[in-house]
Structure 1
Amino acid sequence: MMEITIFGKGNMGKAIGGNFEKAGNRVTYGGRDFKGSLGDVVVLAVPYGAVDSILAAHKDELAGKVLVDITNPVNFDTFDGLVVPADSSATAEIQKKVPEALVVKAFNTTFAGVLAAGKVGDKEPAVVLAASDSEEAKKTLAEALEGSGLSVVDAGSLKRAREMETLGFLHISLAAREKISWTGGFAVIH
C-alpha cells in the first residue's frame, strides 16, 4: 500500500483517486492550501495555472517524491494552442521548478469518465500513458495502479510529455466541439 496525495478534488482528481484506492492505496485529497504530509506519490490534478503555487508551497517536501502531472496547458482564452514553449511541455517546466522530484506525465490523455469506467467508449480498456526521465517514477506509478483495472504504458522519456499534451489538447478540443463524447477518446491497444 502506498500513500497518495492528490491536489484537486474535481472529476479528474476523484477518478484518479478512485483507481488508486481500488488498487489498495490510501488517498488523501487536498487543495492549494494543503497542510498535511505528502504521500509517496503526489498527483497534480489541477489546472496548469494552479501548479506554480502548489510547487512553491511544497518544493522541499517534493524532493524524492513521485510527482504526477496530469495537466494539459491549454490556452483557454483562445482554445487554439498550448501556453508552454513549443519545444517544451508543462511537465518539463514543472521538472525545472522542482528538480529533486521524480516527475512523470500521466492521465492527461484520458477523461475522468473513462478513468472511472475503466473503458474508452465502453469498449476498450483504459490505458494510462506515462512519460518520465525517471524509470523509478514510472515503475512506482504502475505498481500503485496494480489491481485498479488500468494498465500503464511507458511512453518514454520526459520529452514525450509534449506529444502527450498535444494529444490531450486534441482530445479536449474534439470533445468540446462535440465530435467525441466525454466518455470516449483515444484507445491504446497493446
Structure 2
Amino acid sequence: MQTNTTIAIIGATGSMGSAISKSLSNGNFNLLLCASDQTKLQSLLGEIKTSNPSAQAEAMDCFKEASWEADIIILAVPYQAEKEVAGKILEVANQKIVISIANPLNVTYDGLVTSPDTSAAEELQKLLPNSTIVKAFNTTFAADFAQPVIDGKQVDAFVAGDDAEAVDTVAELVTTAGLNPIIAGSLKESRTLENMQLLLIKLGIKYNYNWLAGWKILHN
C-alpha cells in the first residue's frame, strides 16, 4: 500500500466507525472522518489526537467530498443506510476500494433480511458498479479493536472480494487495526461471513459474552 493513503470513514461516530477510526489512526494514513453529528465527530477527533498526537485525521461533514478525496472508502454504517450513502458517493467512488462492514440483521438480531443468494456486500457492489467492494471488519465487535487479543489469542478478521490486489490492501488495514487477517475468498463468501457474525451475536446474547468475542481458526 502506498504511504499516506487517504481513507474516508463514513459513519465514523458509530460504535464500529469510531473503533475502526481509532485503530487506523495508528497507521500511516490520512483519515477523513465523516458523520452527521459534528459534535460527536469533534469529540472523536479529540480522542484520537489525545492518544496519538501525530495522527493524520480530519473531521468532515460531506460524504461526497470525503469520498472524492479518498483512495479507500469505509462504509461504517448499518445495512439499511448503505443504499442512501451509495447514492451520495456514486459519482466519486469510481475505481476506488469501498469496504462494506455491514451485517444485514433484522430488528430482533435472530436473522438476516437479505435472501440466501446474496449479501450486503454484493448488494453494495450493485449500487456501486464502478467501485471495488471488499468485505471486511464485519465479523468483529467494536470492543475487539481495543482488545484484539482475547484469552491469549489474536482475533481473526475475514476479508472477501473479487479483486486480489484490493483484498491484499484491505488485509493490510486489518493488520494495522491489530487483528489477524484471513482472506476468505471471493465477494460471494461475504454471505457466509455475514451469517458468521449473526451466529456470534446470537451466541453472545445466549452466553453473555458482553460484546467482546471473536472468531479464531486454529490450525497446525
TM-score normalised by L of structure 2: 0.79
Q: Which residue of structure 2 lines up, in the alignment, with residue 102 of structure 1?
A: 132
Residue 98 (structure 2) aligns with: 67
Residues 130 and 138 in structure 1, CA contact (< 8 A), matched pair in contact too: yes
The 5 A counterparts of 1:1-190 are 1-8=4-11, 9-31=13-35, 34-38=63-67, 39-76=70-107, 78-119=108-149, 121-189=150-218
Give the partner amino acid of 1:7.
Answer: I
Deviation at 1:136, TM superposition (A): 1.9
Relative contact order: is structure 1 or structure 2 higher (C-alpha 8 Å, sep ≥ 6)? 1
Contact 2:9/2:32 (<8 A) preserved: yes
Aligned partners of 2:217, 2:32: CA distance in 1, in Å? Answer: 29
8 Å contact kept, 1:2–1:144:
no
Stretches of structure 1 lacking an aligned partner (at least 5 in a row): none
Which residue identity does 1:16 align to in structure 2? I
CA distance in 1 between counterparts of 2:22 and 2:192 reads 26
Equivalent-residue separation in structure 2 for 1:46 and 1:3 (angstroms) = 19
15-24 or 54-63, which deviates more: 15-24
Task: Give the secondary-structure state (helix, strand or coil) at the position aligned to 1:36.
Answer: helix
Structure whose CA Rg is larger: 2
Instruction: Give the Cα separation in 1 of the matches to 2:99 and 2:5.
Output: 14
In structure 1, what is the Cα distance between the partners aligned to 2:211 and 2:166?
28
Counterpart of 2:137, as a letter, is F
Task: Name the stretch that deviates more: 85-94 or 133-142.
Answer: 133-142
Percent of aligned positions that are identical:
36
Distance 1:122 1:36 in 2: 42
Measure, in 2, the Cα distance between the counterparts of 1:124 and 1:131.
22
Which consecutive segments of 4 or more residues in structure 1 shift more than 6 A? none
- Please give the alpha-carbon distance, in whole angstroms, between the structure 1 residues aligned to 2:111 and 2:79: 14
**Which stretches in structure 2 are left out of the alignment for 5+ residues?**
37-61
Given the two structures, how large is their TM-score scaled by the length of structure 1? 0.90
| 1:62–1:110 distance in 2 versus 1, CA, 3 Å | same
Measured on the aligned residues, the alpha-carbon RMSD in Å equals 1.8
Q: 3-state SS of the aligned residue for 2:118?
A: coil
In structure 2, do the counterparts of structure 1 residues 22 and 189 end up closer, same or farther at CA, with 3 Å as the change threshold? Answer: farther
